[in-house]
Amino acid sequence: MSSNSPTEINRFGGGENIERPLGRSILRGLACTCPACGSGRLFKAFLKPVATCSACGEDLSHQRADDLPPYIVIMIVGHVLLGGYMMTDLVFVLSTWVHLAIWVPIAVITSLLIIQPIKGSVIGLQWALRMHGFGQPSEPPEDYDQRYPPQ
């Protein structure tokens, strides 16, 4: 059947059997675009994700990136700044106050610049792995009523 056949249905967004490549979804999130289509905006405010994609209609309201993006930012910024501080300290003899005047603003600015793309990539990761409401709801176990009888 050709791709332009009138009987074939084109589905965009959250079909239940749609393929969700992990790398592509993370890269789309890193670009702050919808992990499903790659064209809709992922954020409506600095760190507030949209409820649904304006381009494909994918429901993104269930995402819970929570604490993972700040931890990743701390790991990246901490390692880069520690290396920069140590290299600078080997070359130039500077007082602690000068180091604070240099490295604190760099740490704050760098953290603010990378937190949104990192949060987008975490949302892309969750979407690709069907975590936190991005997939089909799980079925309760068959013996659920026996284990948890109504009271």
Gap between the Cα atoms of 40 and 88, Å rounded:
42
Chain position carrying tokens 């999130």 = 29
User: Is the CB of residue 87 less than 8 Å from the CB of residue 17?
Assistant: no
- Say if 16 falls within a structural domain: no
Q: Structural domain tally of the chain? A: 1
Gap between the Cα atoms of 115 and 5, Å rounded:
44
Q: What is the pTM of this model?
A: 0.75
- Say if 115 falls within a structural domain: yes
Exposed e or buried b per residue across 99-116, where buried means at least 16 C-beta atoms within 10 angstroms of its C-beta: eeeeeeeebeeebeebbb
- Say if 17 falls within a structural domain: no
Q: What are phi and psi of 122, to 5 degrees?
A: -65, -40
Task: Note down the domain range covering 69.
Answer: 22-129
- Say if 103 falls within a structural domain: yes
pLDDT in the model for residue 148: 74
Facing residues of 52 across strands? 59
Q: How confident is the model at residue 147 (pLDDT cuts 50, 70, 90)?
A: confident
- Say if 28 falls within a structural domain: yes
pLDDT in the model for residue 26: 96
